[in-house]
Structure 1
Amino acid sequence: MLLDLARDRRVLFVGGKGGVGKTAVASAVGLHQAQRGARVLVVSTDPAHNLGHLWARPVGDRILTLWQDGSGPAAPRRACLSGVEIDPDATTSAHLEEVGATLRSMMPDHLQGEVDKHLQLAARSPGTHEAAVLERIATLLQEHGGEDDDAFDLIVFDTAPSGHTARLMALPEIMTAWTSALLDRRTRAERFGAAVRALDADDAPDGSSQAARDRRIRQVLARRQARFEAMREVLTDAERCSFVIVLTAERLPVLESVELHAQLADTGVDVGGFVVNRLSPRDAGDFLAQRRDQEEGHLAELSRLVPGALLDTLPMLGGDLVGAEALQRLGAQLR
């Protein structure tokens, strides 16, 4: 199931409860596809990043090559696996800096200080980090998910735990509607301003400068609306994008995964299936054999609660899961 999705889709989200192995599964499927000739980007959106720990090397907020095909000469389309960890604080700062520059260009000099005060409050406001991360995801999809030579064949998003991710997946529709409402209000404000200037040309503000500010505001809002609409189109297009829920065969991860499945379905996101990680072996002693029986019961409950759901299983592997060789072993277990 998972390999079919990775081969047929351009965007793959990997999510689930914290601690179930989302980063390992995202990296393993990314490496598997890269070693078969694809250009793959793994994006960590979880503030508690594990991508760098998994690859035993620093991975920051800039795209970094984690693995590259060494069998031939370097070329723009050379198969590779790249990674990036979205830094929420840096992303928020960059987002607010852009907003501040836009606001300052529209405000008279005596209001510049008020703009700074507003941005300082916004940096601490609920939802600011979410909006900034969402915009960064939308930008990555826009810049690297197309058809040109710089595009990746597959972008895999390694997401934060379930509740945060469900909210994030619903945000594009919310932000699109919110921006549309702002554009509508902007249109009414422009009409009212034009009427005032027409009635009293002598006392009204300078028409040319006001019209320029109006155009600038509209351009900013329209650009954001287009970006969120494009992201929403990708998320809800089952031929381009799918979501895979990773879990372990335990009671709480199963129940949380069922809830996440329902939340994603409500937002119109295609859920390709479930990946059950770290399944206990039957032939390694009575304790693990008994645990495997218990796990099978939880998986039966998952199949009952989500009829027809596709399930992939990954065994419990010995040793630390670190580096390309270990991830390749995990990827060999994928189907």
Structure 2
Amino acid sequence: MNKIIFFSGKGGVGKTSCASSFAISKINQNKKVLLVSTDPAHSTSDIFEMKINNTITTILDNLDAIEINPEEESKKYINSIRNNLHKIISPAILSEINTQLDAASVSPGTHEASLFDKMLSIINTEIENYDYIIFDTAPTGHTLRLFTLPELLGSWIDSLVKKRKKVVNYKKMSLTDKNKRKNLEHDPIIEILNRRKENLEKARKIMIDQNKLSFIFVLNAEKLPIDETKKAIEILNKYSIPVGTLIVNRILPKNIKDEFFIRKKEHEIKHLKTIYEYFKDFNIIELPLLERDMDFKNINELSNFFKTDKNLV
């Protein structure tokens, strides 16, 4: 069973319920678990009926959790860049640099980049402290942007390094002092960019390693969640990110007498057939629709469906 597990899917299909119940099933097997929420609309605190912060919080014996605040992480991300640049950039252009960084803090992609850094930091620093790190992610589109970042940012960083090397070479050509030219051999900006690239490569290796990471999609037996899951898996396949398990959540009971739910069950059966045909190579787990609102008692009930690992390998 892989140590790093991502739960993803369309908004409202029950990702938090599934991720939380899976976490409970693991601590019932005496495993130590870290449950990480990356969804800005955090529900983990609501399910466990306690405040979970942007730092690791103990929920139960062997179960810790953290709710990542993308806005807070974005500020930390920009400030770390600002601090690094302040050490190596001339004071004459610091004002312009700060203006650009302020603009970048609200630009598209900054939240994703900072969130990705935080996720990678959690994996790298906590992987040895837990048997499982379970990520309860934001709706599909947001998660896909996160997982495609190593490819996109890697190319962008390569371009920046190439341009920076040209600038450094021009500086070398203009200097006659050998010592000054030698100092340019270790350009701090290039070193920062290369470290960033190394971290991205490390993340990339984790993502495509089927022995380290499992990606689980949660969906309902309805057309829109099925269509979204198909598209998402196709995108992840392009980036060689493994997906092996689907959880079909909120299955209606069999013995229904109400006319409305009889027709609803007929549609559900049709969609289940589509799921089992299209995703025939995947492990598929069915979870029932519960008669009560989701709470800690229900989480314990759902955890019984994850007693064995065979469906989640």
TM-score (norm: length of structure 1): 0.86
How far apart are 1:255 and its partner, in Å?
1.2
Find 1:285's aligned residue among 251, 257, 262.
257
What residue is the counterpart of 2:43 in the other structure? 50
| Whole-angstrom CA distance in 1 between matches of 2:211 and 2:38 | 23
Q: Which amino acid aligns with 1:24?
A: S
Find 1:223's aligned residue among 170, 186, 195.
195
Q: Which amino acid aligns with 1:309?
A: F
Q: Deviations over 1:125-169 (max 9, x none)?
A: 111111111111111111112x4xxx2221111111111111211
What residue is the counterpart of 1:154 in the other structure? 132
What residue is the counterpart of 1:87 in the other structure? 69
What residue is the counterpart of 1:207 in the other structure? 180
Query: Does residue 89 of structure 2 align to residue 107 of structure 1?
Result: yes
Q: Deviations over 1:197-246 (max 9, x none)?
A: 13xx49xxx9279638x532233112211111111101101111111110
Gaps of 5+ in 2: 309-313
Percent identical across equivalent pairs? 29
Query: Does residue 289 of structure 2 align to residue 316 of structure 1?
Result: yes
Find 1:10's aligned residue among 3, 24, 29.
3
Q: Which amino acid aligns with 1:283?
A: N
Task: Give secondary structure in 2 for the equivalent of 1:332.
Answer: helix
How far apart are 1:284 and its partner, in Å?
4.2
CA 1:103–1:207: 2 relative to 1, 3 Å: same
What residue is the counterpart of 1:238 in the other structure? 210
Residues 248 and 287 in structure 2, CA contact (< 8 A), matched pair in contact too: yes
- The total of aligned residue pairs comes to 306
Find 2:277's aligned residue among 287, 297, 304.
304
Residues 37 and 66 in structure 2, CA contact (< 8 A), matched pair in contact too: yes
Task: Give secondary structure in 1 for the equivalent of 2:107.
Answer: coil
Q: Which amino acid aligns with 1:59?
A: I
Find 1:176's aligned residue among 154, 166, 183.
154
What residue is the counterpart of 2:311 in the other structure? none
| Whole-angstrom CA distance in 2 between matches of 1:88 and 1:265 | 26
What residue is the counterpart of 2:79 in the other structure? 97
Residues 172 and 181 in structure 2, CA contact (< 8 A), matched pair in contact too: no
What residue is the counterpart of 1:268 in the other structure? 240
Residues 62 and 85 in structure 1, CA contact (< 8 A), matched pair in contact too: yes
How far apart are 1:291 and its partner, in Å?
2.5
Task: Give secondary structure in 1 for the equivalent of 2:305.
Answer: coil
Q: Which amino acid aligns with 2:148?
A: A
Residues 244 and 272 in structure 1, CA contact (< 8 A), matched pair in contact too: yes
Find 1:196's aligned residue among 165, 174, 185.
174
Task: Give secondary structure in 2 for the equivalent of 1:12.
Answer: strand
Task: Give secondary structure in 1 for the equivalent of 2:71.
Answer: helix
TM-score (norm: length of structure 2): 0.91
Residues 46 and 160 in structure 1, CA contact (< 8 A), matched pair in contact too: yes
Residues 13 and 156 in structure 1, CA contact (< 8 A), matched pair in contact too: yes
| Whole-angstrom CA distance in 2 between matches of 1:109 and 1:185 | 22
Q: Which amino acid aligns with 2:294?
A: L
Task: Give secondary structure in 2 for the equivalent of 1:271.
Answer: coil
